[in-house]
Amino acid sequence: MSLTVLNVIAAVVIAIAFAAANAAYLVWAERRGAARIQRRPGPNINGPFGLLQPPIDGIKLMTKQLMIPGGADKILFMVAPVLAMAPAIMSFVTIPFSEGIVARNMDIGVLMIFAFASLGAMAILFAGWGSRNKYSVMASVRAVSQNVSYEIPMLITAITVIMVNGSMDLKAISLAQAGGFWHWNIFPSLQSPLMPVSFIIFFICSLAETNRAPFDLGEAESELVAGFHTEYGSMGFGLFFMGEYANIVIGASLTTLLFLGGWGCPFGLFPGVWWFLLKIYLLIATFIWIRWTFPRTTIYGLLNLSWKILIPISLFNLLLTAGLLKVF
Amino acid sequence: MGGYFSEIFYGSKSLLIGMGITFREFFKPTVTVQYPYQTLKMTARYRGHIELLADEEGNPKCVACGMCQRACPSGCISLDSVSVDVEVDGKAKKKKVLSKYDLDFTKCSLCGQCVESCNFGAIDFSKEYNLASTRKEDFHFNLLQRLKRSEEKNT
Amino acid sequence: MILETTQQALQALFAGAVPANEAEAGAPRDNGVILRDYQKHGYHLDAQVAANQLLAAVTILDQGGFFIESITGVDWIKENQMEVIYDFSRYDFDPCRVVIRTRVPRDTPVVPTISTIYAGANWHERETHDFFGIKFEGHPHLVPLLLPEDADFHPLLKDFKA
Amino acid sequence: MSAPIQLRPDETFLLNVGPQHPATHGVLRVKMQMDGEYIVKAETVLGYVHRMHEKMGENRTYAQYLPNLSRLDYLGALGYTHGHVLAIERAAGIEVPERAEYIRAITVELNRVASHLFWFGAFVMDLGGFSPLMYAIQDREHILDMLEAVTGARLTYCYYRFGGLYNDVDDDFIEAAKRFIPRMRKSLKKYDALVTGNIIFQKRLEDIAPVSAEMCRKYGATGPVARGSGINFDVRKNEPYSVYPEFDFEVPVYHECDSMARYKVRMDEMEQSLRIIEQGLEKLPGGPIMTEKKPKNIKLPVGDFYQAVETARGSFGIRIVSDGDKNAYRLKLRSPTYSNMHLFDEACEGMLIMDALAFMGSLDLVIPEMDR
């Protein structure tokens, strides 16, 4: 019994540490990557390649005073950053990094991650409403409507994968794709000929769900100042930031598990956690690459994309896959 | 319906083209100058704040005529002179000698009217650009003193 | 082409003989339309009208397809007069810059607003009111634009002391 | 596409955009009456960087006023100083050597490209794309380096003098400019592929914020704003000054009236400016750069003088009322963005705030130039 408790505590600590380290160093990677795209060196003063920049930034954020604007709803204002961070960490619990490395594998792992992901919208709404700032309210309303619309195609594509693999267990889904890249869900099979399209839809949705550019309407720094976290400073802002990057890691992990064969090697050799990490970081690099290439979409363009393009296509794909599953 | 799909197609294509461009830029060398560690050389015509020029003997060329003071749009130059007795060809003569030449750089707009108005070539732009301070007083330059100091350094 | 038609239309505002060139105008000049030497002055037509003729003159230009360039004032303190200058120009390749000017007494500087004809005159008139204290009768929102909201001084007046 | 929606003017809130707001590029304030994300009514508040340049013009001699002109529009300063020296030269009847006028045209056009480049970057940044700004600044840096080598300043130039120039260009400058042109053309192609062709970018600008030609006329809009509304108006062509008649260039005009049209006008203008620079460098005559018959203290004859020039932002006019003294009796600066911004209030009604701020970006505002 006590061993189980210890296990759980260890798993949680590792999950938090992993999320925090990822958040810190993804910021660094993003800044370096953006800089390279823009032909600058990026942070390079503190430590080799500027690797000490994230801890220094962290210390700066932690030592700053936490300001609560006058007239703000204090409870909501304080709860929101925690609410942004906590579900992200919780989701790590059920993500299998390899066959052996998983804090708590669940039969309904996919469902759990989606459930926690939708809590992120609450954090944004709380932050926007609690800040008592018109820009924040507008941003949070935008972000929530965006999150709600993109959850639908994302879930539909996830259901397609679940139908093909016959399980909601992330480990089982990943294992079903083992043994070479031609087994991966991203490649079309007889039962699911439109899988590459599903992958693209899922990828776009994970961009939108994590509020990343070109869908960063909740932040929209040139219009809504800084969006829902306009009023946040110090670690309040830091938690939002960490939550955002933790969500990116989760989005990338989920994409990897559902479509890219999880920890499986493309050639069927030495499957393991390294392949998993390689795949998620390649996906995250694409996230960064996209962010520094495109301008922001408009709110109606964004909703149109979801409701008029992504949802019909993913629904069609779902029906097609369901039909073909019956046939073959 | 055809428009619907062609828009998706051309839209996606334009996005991929954009990503191709940033991908190529990623591998190009950086173009920035790491300022405190590297510096650029100022061009020959760079206009810093003005500076007094010295003649062969190390005295300012300035004859304290005050043309620059009048030409300045912002009134940032203030100069003063004293009369001293000098011996020219064995005769005692009064001569105006520059005793003070202050530049209030906080007001200066670096237009160069003073340098142009000077008939004696006594002032010129310096090449200094590392000028930063938190106090206004640091930009009240005593140009006469600066000249003396730079002359001492040269000898 | 447009120059002559505009000149004739503006001249119709004045009854009787009016000076037609600079030499005849004299100084201070009487109301009337003058052809200016473009090479020297940078504009073609110079019409000085009375304040009550202003709207009629501007309407002629509006119908002629002119766009509003700017509005400004001049404080003629010696003559105890205030001048309001309206610049108009054209978008086409028949260059014709028209200057409409009107003089009002310095103590009661009131002219009618032309923002009803040219919506863009709104800010120009507010600016002129800021700087000179000239009142534009009928202006919808004559509050300081470039000066602070509570400004009660007019810095471009010649007797303005900071 | 923004569907026509029923606005509720009775259920609105006031959104204060600025004076410190990332989209206003300076200290501009717009009071927006909002219904959700839709603007019901907007009122622009100016004057946060008002410096009363016109009063300074009355207190300073004409030569002393030279540095002021470059403080109006810090991105395209040479165009404004050009207008000033042309006005004085016209009024005082000063002849300018041909070489000086050619160098003026070349440097003004270089400055125009620099200004448009910076606008391009900032505009795309308004829309959320950050990297194009860096690419644009990189190209602009080459121009500023060239201009610095000639004028001694990077932004607030004080290069033109009544009757000529402060100093001559050297072979290095001509070489650098010749190298720059093909480089810039390559960059323009890159911007075309990266930004203009981008579907997100097109969706954000096309059919957004229509400004009719009639509206331009009523508000006196000039420059790329008017040309994006189908008005073929460029002071360089309509009222030729300096040596512009010698050059073969076109005035890009688009008839769509939307933000995209205004964007395309400026992008095409860069190419036309490059053509002018190319021809200017080719034709650049020798000779003096300063007229000899120049009075030391310039006094203008009594009268009223006007000079319009095409700057990067539109038609800039300078009116000098002289009473024969060495100072102007009255000096009026007609700044193009002042008129261009004025139509924002009317045009943005019923627009989404997102589109309105993109529209504001497409007007190419430089606040110090507007506030003077």
Could you write out the DSSP letters of every residue in B25-69?
A: HHTSPP----TTTS-PPPPTT---SEEE-B-TTSSB------HHH
HSE toward the beta carbon, residue D61, CA cutoff 13 A = 14
Per-residue confidence band for D47, with pLDDT thresholds at 50, 70 and 90: confident
Chain D closest-CA separation from residue B86 CA (Å)? 33
What is the least distance, in Å, from the CA of D364 to any CA of chain C? Answer: 18
Can you spell out the DSSP letters for D114-168?
HHHHHHHHHHHHHTT--HHHHHHHHHHHHHHHHHHHHHS-SSS---EETTEESS-
d(CA C152, CA D91): 35
- Two tokens, residue D262: 């205004």
Domain assignment present for B64: yes
**For chain A, what's the residue count?**
328
| DSSP class per residue in A182-235 | GGSTTS--SS-TTHHHHHHHHHHHHHHHTT-TTS-TTT-TTTSTTGGGTT--HH
- Cβ of residue B10 closer than 8 Å to a chain D Cβ: yes
Query: Tens digit of pLDDT for each residue in D50-92?
Result: 888 888 888 888 888 888 888 888 888 888 999 888 888 888 8
Per-residue confidence (pLDDT) for residue A251, from 0 to 100: 87
Q: How many residues does chain C have?
A: 162
- Structural Rg of chain C based on CA atoms: 16
Six-digit token pair at B31? Answer: 């173009």
What is the structure's pLDDT at C20? Answer: 58
At D51 the pLDDT is 87
Nearest CB to A293: which of B8, B19, B32? B19
Residues B110 and B61 in one domain: yes
- B81, β-bridge pairs: B98
What percentage of residues in chain A have a pLDDT greater than 70?
97
Contact B28 A289 (CB under 8 A): no
- ipTM for the predicted complex comes to 0.85
- Who contacts D306 (Cβ-Cβ below 8 Å, separation ≥6)? C41, C42, C43, C87, C97, C99, D87, D317, D318, D319, D320
Q: Quick one: average pLDDT of A51-65?
A: 87
More confident residue, A236 or A11: A236
Averaged pLDDT for residues A41-59? 85
CB pairs under 8 A between A and D: 82
Of the candidates A281, A97, A107, A265, the one whose C-alpha atom is nearest the C-alpha of residue A183 is: A265
D257: left (phi > 0), else alpha (psi -120 to 50), else beta?
left
The answer to whether residue A103 sits within a structural domain is yes
Domain boundaries, chain D: 13-371
Written as one letter, the residue type at D81 is: T
Spatial CA neighbour of D64 closest among B77, A214, B88:
B77
For residue A49, tell me if it sits in a domain. Answer: no
- Residue A225 has its nearest CB partner, among D22, D138, D195, at D22
pLDDT at residue D278 tops 50: yes
Q: Is B43 part of a structural domain of the chain?
A: no
Question: Residue B30 and residue A33: Cβ atoms within 8 Å?
Answer: no
Inter-chain touch A289–B8, beta carbons under 8 Å = no
Per-residue pLDDT reduced to its tens digit, A170-217: 888 877 777 777 777 777 776 777 788 888 888 888 888 888 878 877
Q: What percent of chain A has pLDDT over 90?
A: 0
Fold classified for D13-371? Cytochrome-c3 Hydrogenase; chain B (1.10.645)
| Residue-level pLDDT at D283 | 86
Sites in chain C below the pLDDT cut of 70: 15-28, 162
270-299 of A, contacting B, C-beta below 8 A: 289-290, 292-294
- Check CB contact of C156 with chain D, cutoff 8 Å: yes
**Region of residue B121 (left: phi > 0; alpha: psi -120 to 50; beta: else):** left
Helical H runs in chain A?
A: 2-37, 53-63, 74-93, 109-130, 134-165, 170-176, 195-209, 234-259, 273-291, 299-304, 311-327
Under 8 Å between Cβ of D90 and C42: yes
User: b vs e for D181-220, b when ≥16 Cβ sit within 10 Å of the residue's Cβ?
Assistant: beebeebbebbeebbbbbbbbbbbbeebbebebebbbbbb
Q: What pLDDT, in 10s, does the model give residues B101-139?
A: 888 888 888 888 888 888 888 888 888 777 888 888 888
> What's residue D4's pLDDT?
55
pLDDT of residue A24: 83
Is residue D7 very low, low, confident or very high in pLDDT (cuts 50, 70, 90)? low
Q: CB distance A293–B21 less than 8 Å?
A: yes
Q: Which two tokens stand for residue A21?
A: 């380290």
Structural domain containing residue B126: 50-154
Closest residue on chain A to D354 (Cα):
A223
In CATH, what number is assigned to the domain containing residue B140?
Answer: 3.30.70.3270
For residue A5, tell me if it sits in a domain: no
List residues in chain B touching A: CB distance below 8 A. 8, 15, 18-19, 21-23, 25-32, 34
Segment D21-46 mean pLDDT: 84
| Alpha carbon of D254: minimum distance to chain C alpha carbons (Å) | 15
Closest listed residue to residue D214, CA positions, set A270, A16, A130, C68: C68
What DSSP character marks residue D289? S
Q: Is residue B42 part of a domain?
A: no
Whether the pLDDT of residue D303 is over 80: the answer is: yes
Instruction: Specify the pLDDT at position D2.
Output: 47
Q: Tell me what pLDDT residue D45 has.
A: 87
**Which helix (DSSP H) or strand (DSSP E) does residue D281 occupy?**
helix D259-283
With a CB-CB cutoff of 8 Å, which residues 49-108 of chain D face chain B?
A: 60, 63-68, 71
Total domains in chain A come to: 1
Percentage of chain D lying above the pLDDT 90 cut: 2
Decide if B101 contacts B50 (C-beta within 8 A): no
Q: D334, C87: Cβ pair inside 8 Å?
A: yes
Q: Is D231 in contact with C91 (Cβ distance < 8 A)? A: yes
**Cα D46 to Cα D25: distance, rounded to the nearest angstrom:** 13
Comparing CB atoms, the residue among D1, D128, D131 nearest residue A296 is D128
Residues of D in contact with A294 (CB under 8 A): 128-129, 198, 200
Mean pLDDT of B76-94: 77
Q: Which of A40, A290, A294 is most worth mutating to test chain D (most D CB atoms within 10 A of its CB)?
A: A294
The residue type found at A2 is S
Residue A181: give the domain boundaries: 69-327
Does any domain span residue B122? yes
User: At residue A8, does pLDDT exceed 80?
Assistant: no
Q: In chain C, where are the structural domains located?
A: 2-137
Mean pLDDT in residue range D145-174:
85
**CATH number of C2-137, picked from 3.40.190.10, 1.10.1060.10, 3.30.460.80, 3.20.20.70:** 3.30.460.80
Which contiguous run of DSSP H or E holds residue B71? helix B67-71
